[in-house]
Amino acid sequence: MKVLGNEGMPCDELDSFLDDVGLLTDPVDADDQAVRENYMLIHRAIKLLLVSGNLDREKLAQAIELAENL
Extents of the domains making up the chain: 11-68
Which distant-in-sequence residues (6+ apart) come within 8 Å of 45 by Cβ?
A: none
Look up the pTM and report it: 0.50
Residues in the chain: 70
In order of 31, 32, 33, the CA distances from 56 in angstroms are 31, 31, 30
- 9: nearest Cα among 55, 45, 65: 55
30 pLDDT band, cuts 50/70/90, is: low
Separation of alpha carbons 69 and 38, rounded Å: 21
Check residue 36 and give its pLDDT. 73
Q: 36-57: per-residue pLDDT in tens? A: 777 777 777 777 777 777 777 7
